[in-house]
Structure 1
Amino acid sequence: MDDRVGRRRGAWRTAVSAAVVAVVAAAAVLTGHAEPARAATAITVNGASGGRTFDGVGAVSGGGGNSRLLIDYPEPQRSDLLDYLFKPGYGAAMQLLKVEIGGDTNSTSGAEPSHEHTRGSINCNRGYEWWLMEQARTRNPSIALAGLVWGAPGWIGNGNFWSTDSIDYLVAWLDCAATHGLTISYLGGWNEKGYNATWYKNLRAALNSRGYGAVKIVASDDFGWAAADESLRDPAFANAVQVFGSHYVCGYRSAQSSCPSSANAISTGKQLWASENGSDDYNAGAAALARGVNRGYLDGRMTGYINWPAIAAITPNIPWATTGVAVAQQPWSGAYSIGRSAWVMAQTTQFTAPGWRYLDGSSGYLGGNRNNGSYVSLRSPSTSDWSTVVETMDAGAAQTLDLTVTGGLSTGVVRVWSTNVRSSNPADHFVRGGDITPVGGRFSLTVQPGHVYSITTTSGQGKGTATSPAAGTLRLPYADTFDSYATGRQARYLMDQQGSFEIAGCAAGRAGQCVRQMSDQAPIYWTSGQAEPYALLGDLSWRNYTVSSDVLLEKPGYVQLVGRANTYNHQGPQNLNGYYFRVTDGGAWSIRSNNTSGDWRTLASGATSALGTGRWHTLALKLDGSTLTASVDGAAVGSVSDSTWVAGQIGYGTGQGVTAQFDNLSITPGDGSGSPTGEIRSASANRCLDVNGASQADGAVVQIWDCNGGANQRWTLGANNQLTVYGNKCLDVPGTASGSRARIMSCTGGGNQQWRVNADGTIVGVASGLCLDVNGQGTANGTAVQIWTCNGGSNQQWVRG
């Protein structure tokens, strides 16, 4: 420590001792305890310090249909979720929203519809991103909107994205935004596909000439800073681009401890963004988010931070089903969950605004040590208000901060808010402590490990109070005639995974509305897997049912009904666990099985009367235990026995480039009786609840394993809420804490051996209130089974045999 700092500190410590006591007491209230503090760190918050202009913190809607189900939520839950995402003074209060410019192709967690499926045929009302941007802007008129392409329709450049076609396509999208009253601030190129300098220069010229000169171009939304390097070699490219954005600057799915940009990027003088980060669980990723928001500026002078994604509004079988700042998997029940990441984001967004300026001399690492934590200070451009955001994610002990406010900043009352990122108790998130009145512009604060603190002169912060209803299953029977929807919209709960299934007027003289698969050629893919069009709907706990739909082929090819659909491979979305009933225009039919490795098996096949084109027919697939029966126009064409997939959603599918229509969806349940004795399968792994090594000894642990019909995989649900195996051993946990491993023990009747088997597929311990859970969402043989806080994950859903 510098001696001058010590003398300065001593000169005013006595005068502020009362304030110090008050602040330490406030910190104790915030955290529930006060640990001994380390040597104090001096922070001077100097409003005269230089620094870059803050662009904001926000998230992505897209890169997959991760927001898909949000629009289907009932009120008031839908508005509650939107408030938690965007409303200032309520929740995450996002300042940036980047949306996918849909391309009719899977881009991680689903596909989003294009505004221009075919050249020149533009519809500005497709999909849900327009609606989401409108809702965000209504709640926060200052939010900055950005657009970016992942994949695109195949007509663009005859498959070459870097073409004049794609520039016209983007301008058309901006025109569509204008029809919704939306001003787009930022526009990117092609997500994570490199850059083409000539294309960016042409895009800039096109935007300038067509009235979009104010739209800032972001390049290149890839890993690294090669575009910034190029701008130093090519002045015209530098003039075309206003923001350099890089992905996962702290490392992909890392702790976000070190977040550099590059010397070249900084030397351009351009805005620098961490333009995609995260891909982390909405709770477990909070600590990384806390580090990254601060350290992106400290290490790399990045003034924008965009988390991927905003929300996981998808069913649990879809890849990345718990990423973002909130999870919303059940529009039918209205259930949702707000994550710790939302409150970490709020610790910056509720205390700053785009246009504020970082104070470089008032930002750094506590005590000069990254392990102690980091802090950034910002000031308002128009008032004397300021905020300092402190994170102590890696600290091992409490620390005292001695703050001095100078340089024209307010020395009035300071407010302190904090989030204990290490706590799973919502009461510890976004908590306001006692106010502080500095003495002579000086005060002290004790900060605890694993926290984010916002120290501010601003007001207006708040924590939303809306709560989620209980989760529940989407009950059968389920039906939809599709007649209630506007043209161009998506049917309720139907989630595109490849291609685009949207509402259109029915063909061949049929009145009303139908679902039409719109993609008429292979797209410009973003994923490595070249999937054919399909969409999914429903509940993962559905087991025995018949899915039926009217279908019409518009061109030669085939249509498919999908049953018991579950997980797919996000890099190869065509690789889906499930059964398919396929029928061609010529009448060839097959019942097929697929899995996440793409191991297609034809279980049965044959021929029936030709479907032809332009004619309506009714297809049905009945799934009754291991018996699969396919029908065309009410007559069974084939049946087969297969027990690979036991539960899952339904779906529509077509061949690549095949346009087709679907109407009168019907899903009717089977008898649903089920045997009280049988296997219990993990819905996510499709492996059985298994006693390790077929042991019958007390204490033998329980795991998941390939289903084999063994006695160690046959469980009986008794009237006393016990799950027994071998006839005399009970499923048991040794405690009530999350992570307690499941085992078998001689039956005692205790609460730790009693289980509620719920309709939504969860198995909940009576004593603990926690869900039976496959550790770490694992799917491999031998993965441990434990109890864990219920979170709606598919690794907490089970199907009884």
Structure 2
Amino acid sequence: MTWASRWRTPLLTVLTLLAGVLVGAAAPSPAHAAATTSITVDGRAPGPAFDGVGAISGGGGNSRLLADYPEPQRSRLLDYLFKPGYGAALQTLKIEIGGDTNSTDGAEASHEHTRGAVDCDQGYEWWLAEQAKAHNPDIKLYGLAWGAPGWIGGGNFWSQDMIDYLMSWLGCAKKHNLGIDYLGGWNERDWNAGWYKNLKSTLVAKGYGSIKVVAADSGWNVADAMTSDPAFKNAVDIVGVHYPCGYNSAFTSCSSTPTARSLGKPLWASENGSEDLDGSPGLDSGRGAPAVARAINRDYIDGQMTSYINWPVIAALYPNLYFQTDGLSLANQPWSGHYRIGKTTWVTAHTTQFTHPGWRYVDSAKGYLGGDRANGSYVTLKPANNSDYTTVIETVDATADQTATFTVTGGLPAGQVHVWSTNLTSDNSADWFAHTQDVTPSGGKYTLTLHPGHVYTVTTTAGGGKGTATPPPSKSLALPYADNFDTPAGTTSPKYFADMNGAFQTVPCGGGRTGKCLRQMAPTRPIHWTDEKSPNPYTIMGDQTWSNYTVTVDALLEPSSTVDVLGRVGQQGRNNNGLNAYHLLVGDSGAWSIQKSDTNWNWTTLPGASGKTAKPLGAGTWHRISLTMQGSKLSASIDGTKVGEATDASFGSGQAGLGVTDYKTVQFDDFAVSPGTATPSVSGPVTSGIAGKCLDDDRNAGDNGTHAQLWDCNRTDAQVWAWAGGTLTHNGKCLDVAGEGVANGTLVQLWDCNGGAHQQWSPQPDGTLKNVLSGRCLDDPEWKTVNGTQLDVWDCNGGANQQWRLPS
């Protein structure tokens, strides 16, 4: 881990005209002579058509919480994603074709759980696509499946059933007045050439001949197969590959293959993207905004890829999920309306706000500054009529100022250009996507001084804009909480419930009840995309700070089955390969148990916490089930009778949830989470996993902004902390993540307690202390042992530098 510098770099754009010098903010002298690049923007030398910059909603569940945001915050988030001249101004939206199975951080609902029973209102992707079109009527839509219902092809994805399934999905798109522009096969699962041929012929026969087929949303080897199979080549319109710059890398090199380039078809980075919506300030850690800035340019320079599609579109998912901060923005608190617009939004805007799909690359004005990729890159685009041009430049890795001299020719406008800039090394949002200069060329020429760690747009287009909406502060979801599922939500899922496997939908109640109930709809095990060893359906909701509470629900076991009531739900393993949680399992036979699972899906029945009711509960009848957690005491009740209890201290806080132990159509009603007795505050030192070190208040100051730091344990007042209900306080101030930040390296300090999730901490079984808002852990950077080392938050890794023993 690398320590993240907190220095803020001023805006330094300096434009020098041949006729004189126009100076912006003063800049320090470079350490050595600046590199010089001559860029000829020639309208007579166009390259291939630009297909746009987009993002993905899917793979999976990453957009789930957006629909539950209150107004006006929901509309503002949608503006930041899709509205031209406001934020990311996305030009393509790729949406998951749901299959009732986990596809990374959640499951997306199928429109056809059983053969022939089509429901075009399932899930939230149709809603999101409609919103995207409303905000930007020109946006392109792209559909792709990660998994599929189990009835398809007897478990074979590459079947006629799957093609028919896609046709019914396209029928649903028509009902939502949505035109689909692109369609893929099976995400990251290679291809079946015969299937793609059949897909293409079926699209033409069904009147969808304008839809372009993308293959194979995997690797470049599909191009080799197309070369040796002309019919396969003819069936595919676009070659789409994933992570051509390397997965979760710095994206410094983004190559394709000679074979792919020889096909004469558009090449796309049909999924790209990098961890974190911001990246580590002041660093090039290969993640977040700096990596995306490189990739949007270098995809074309290195590999002739004409579209970049970011995974995912937004981090609207709970912070205990693995990819909790990946996306253009963060929106994980619908109850508070709090959100954060990430720096990646503005890196994207540098291209999208000043170009349009259908423009063409200008190959005379692309490349690496000074011929060295370490200096940065540039690409230029223009419309067919030569009425404008836009050059996008990144200097992510540069270490000194550089000079770029532009010569505009070939019928392109030689008038005023507008310069926009983002300082990637700055944490100050005023330094992101700032309109810094307007320059009038002399004789079609002008010079720009480029500073390290920036993204620039130089454009003749008018407009461009930066949204100014301000989010409300974060806060915890208060208890008690209840939902009888009768009140309509933003989607077919109840408010705040996020499906991890299966499909939980509100439907008319069965078993003699009126009103609406929550039903697990998938009756057979799907064709999975993930490989988790416990793929049972479950859905989660709530706040990571919930500690002592009772979760209660009525359950109707329709066929013979076992329901799962979850409590203190914590960290989920990557791709649902485990979950820290308690489970009360109750079957129709009357068998019950309290179990715990971990992030490897190891299950343990707690000692003494299993048994059987005097009579079987039976299928087709309603029963009231409750799981109570008070400190280390856990107890189970069925139909108002306590049936057993256990003692376990593995998980101290977390969300609630509902599930089924197999793909059965169980119903739930009258869900409630009621608070228990608050755990008394305890005071004392917070000791580090690094021997002899403690959490320390710098100088025992106790003022807002006082550093939280590492120091030798010394039993002084500066190391006395109070722990209660997920907060750590000292001298009446809360342990706080500065600026409600979520990026790696964000500093930790003391601040007035305000109930925000950035001041809430969730102890993990491995001894780490996870911040509820960011999902990152309290961290001693680089395992430093020097007294006064200021603490930050960083990706949780279980190291001793992230382990803390709380007062007890």
TM-score, scaled relative to structure 1: 0.87
- Aligned match of 2:177 in 161, 181, 186? 181
Task: Give yes or no for contact 1:544–1:669 (8 Å, CA) kept in 2.
Answer: yes
1:548–1:782 distance in 2 versus 1, CA, 3 Å: farther
Out of 753, 759, 765, the residue aligned to residue 749 of structure 2 is 765
Q: Counterpart of 1:229 in 2: which secondary structure?
A: helix
Q: What does residue 502 of structure 1 align with?
A: 505
User: Which amino acid is the alignment partner of residue 558 of structure 1?
Assistant: T
| Bigger shift: residues 418-427 or 487-496 | 487-496
Aligned to 1:691: 688
Note if 1:251 corresponds to 2:254: no
Q: Secondary structure at the match of 1:667?
A: strand
1:17 to partner: Cα distance: 3.6
2:147 aligned with 1:144: no
Q: How many Å apart are 1:360 and its aligned residue?
A: 1.0
CA-CA distance at 1:765 after TM superposition: 3.1
Q: Structure 2 vs 1, CA of residues 245 and 799 (structure 1 numbering), >3 Å: closer, same or farther?
A: farther
Q: 1:552–1:616: 8 Å Cα contact kept in structure 2?
A: yes
Structure 2 residue 175 is the aligned partner of structure 1 residue 161: no
Amino acid paired to 1:234: D
C-alpha displacement of 1:509: 1.4
Deviation for aligned residue 1:252: 0.5
Alignment partner, residue 5 of structure 1: none
- Residue 111 of structure 2 is matched in structure 1 by 115
Question: Partner of 1:208 in structure 2?
Answer: 204
Give the equivalent residue in structure 2 for 1:606.
611
- 1:654 aligned onto 2:651: no
Could you tell me which residue of structure 2 aligns to residue 716 of structure 1?
A: none
Cα separation, 2, equivalents of 1:739 and 1:296? 42
The amino acid across from 2:442 in the alignment is V
Give the superposed CA RMSD: 3.2
- Given that 1:328 and 1:337 are in contact with CA atoms closer than 8 Å, whether structure 2 keeps it comes out as yes
Question: What's 2:58 paired with?
Answer: 62
Secondary structure of 2:305 counterpart: coil
5+ residue gaps in structure 1?
A: 1-13, 680-688, 703-721, 724-728
TM-superposed CA distance for 1:796, in Å, is 12
In structure 2, what residue type is equivalent to 1:327? Answer: L
Distance 2:681 2:52 in 1: 56
User: Distance between the aligned counterparts of 1:628 and 1:543, measured in 2?
Assistant: 12
Q: How does 1:524-539 map to 2 (within 5 A)?
A: 524-530=527-533, 531-539=535-543
Distance 1:387 1:743, change over 3 A: farther
State the AA in 2 paired with 1:151.
G
Q: Any conservation in 2 of the 1:105–1:151 contact (CA below 8 Å)?
A: yes
Tell me how far apart the structure 2 counterparts of residues 791 and 334 of structure 1 sit (CA, whole Å): 24
Cα distance between partner residues in 2 of 1:274 and 1:414: 30
Distance 2:736 2:512 in 1: 41
Q: 1:611 Cα deviation (Å)?
A: 1.9
How far does residue 570 in structure 1 lie from its aligned partner after superposition? Answer: 1.9
Is the 1:521–1:658 contact (alpha carbons within 8 Å) kept by the matching residues of 2? yes
Structure 1 pair 781/597, CA: closer, same or farther in 2 (3 Å)? farther
Query: What residue in structure 1 maps to residue 623 of structure 2?
Result: 617
Aligned residue in 2 for 1:756 = 733
Q: Which residue of 2 aligns with 1:260?
A: 255
- Which residue pairs with 2:723 in the alignment? none
Q: How far apart are 1:767 and its partner, in Å?
A: 6.3
> Which of 626, 639, 644 pairs up with 2:632?
626
Cα displacement string for residues 264-283 of structure 1 (whole angstroms, at most 9, x for unaligned residues): 11111101100111141000
State the distance in 2 between where 1:347 and 1:486 align: 35
Q: List per-residue Cα deviations over 1:584-632 (Å, max 9, x = no partner).
A: 1110000001000222100111001322111111000000111101000
Task: Work out whether 1:270 is the aligned partner of 2:274.
Answer: no
Q: 370, 388, 393: which one pairs with 1:390?
A: 393
Alignment-mate amino acid for residue 635 of structure 1 = T
* Pairwise CA distance, 1:351: 1.0
Secondary structure class of the residue paired with 1:668: strand
Q: Secondary structure at the match of 2:678?
A: coil
Q: Distance in 2 between matches of 1:487 and 1:322?
A: 22
Q: Which amino acid aligns with 1:484?
A: T
Letter in 1 for 2:180: I
Structure 2 gap ranges (5+) = 1-14, 280-287, 721-728, 741-746, 762-768
Contact kept in structure 1, 2:106 and 2:498, CA below 8 Å: yes
Q: 1:629 to 1:349 in 2, by over 3 A?
A: same
Deviation at 1:239, TM superposition (A): 0.9
Choose the corresponding residue for 1:38, options 19, 34, 44: 34
Equivalent residue, structure 2, for 1:86: 82
> Which of 129, 143, 161 lines up with 1:133 in the alignment?
129
Matches within 5 A, 1:674-713: 674-677=680-683, 690-692=687-689, 695=692, 700-702=693-695
TM-aligned CA distance change 1:615 to 1:491, over 3 Å: same
Q: Which residue of 2 aligns with 1:511?
A: 514
How does 1:365-404 map onto structure 2 within 5 Å? 365-404=368-407
2:574 counterpart of 1:570: yes
Is contact 2:563-2:660 (8 Å) kept? yes
In the alignment, residue 225 of structure 1 is paired with which amino acid? W
CA spacing shift, 1:33–1:469, aligned 2, 3 Å: farther
CA shift, 1:569, in A, is: 1.1
- Structure 1: how far apart are the matches of 2:314 and 2:478? 25
Post-superposition shift, 1:131? 0.6
Q: Give the match for residue 543 of structure 1.
A: 547
- In structure 2, what residue type is equivalent to 1:583? V
CA deviations over 1:77-123 (Å, ceiling 9, x no partner): 00110001111101111111101111100000100100001110000
Distance 2:178 2:433 in 1: 31
Matched, 1:747 2:716: yes
Contact between 1:591 and 1:605, CA under 8 Å: does it hold in 2? yes
Distance in 2, matches of 1:249 and 1:553, equals: 47
Compared CA separation, residues 58 and 616, structure 1 to 2 (3 A): same
**Secondary structure at the counterpart of residue 643 of structure 1:** coil
The residue that corresponds to 2:11 in the other structure is none
How many residues of Structure 1 are paired with residues of Structure 2 in the alignment?
Answer: 743
Contact kept? 2:778, 2:793, Cα under 8 Å: no
> Is 1:340 matched up with 2:343?
yes
